[in-house]
Amino acid sequence: PLAREDQPTPRLVLGLEDVRQLGAGNGAHLWAATNAGTLQCWGAQGIRTNTTLGADAPGHGELGRGPSSNESLDATTPANVDGEFSVADLEGDAIGCGRNHTCAASSDGRVYCWGDDTYGQTSHGTIRRSPTLVRGYSL
């Protein structure tokens, strides 16, 4: 897991450039949308609430790094979400994170979600590691 320590002074997030919007989930992952339309995520791959689970416990896919990603590893640097996904340039919130999932409006106005779906939050019925279209809903 990521080293957890208080940061009393701001630190540069390496790898981020030309950012137009930032946000965080209520778990421990973050996102940044760039002016070029890319969406990058980083942070914890799932909140491990069960104390019997070790550092190699599987994550929930909320970073959107694709099916070949190792969900047991937290990500200390931002990386693009999987696929040819481009985020909308909208006023207000077009991206949102929950505890172990992320949703975003794409540049064509359709809504995609990925991550944990234990309570139906991504509308797919199972963990998704890449942006997956939420059918029947668009902006």
Tens of pLDDT, residue by residue over 26-44, are 767 888 988 888 899 888 7
Q: Give mean pLDDT, residues 74-101.
A: 80
Confidence of residue 51 (pLDDT cuts 50, 70, 90): very low
Determine the average pLDDT of the residues in 57-82. Answer: 77
Residue pair 76/41 in contact (Cβ under 8 Å)? The answer is: no
Question: Looking at per-residue confidence, does 60 or 115 come out higher?
Answer: 115
pTM recorded for the entire structure: 0.76
**What are the counts of helices (DSSP H) followed by strands (DSSP E) for the chain?**
0, 8
Q: What number is the average pLDDT over the span 83-92? A: 75
The CA distance from 21 to 18, in Å, is 9
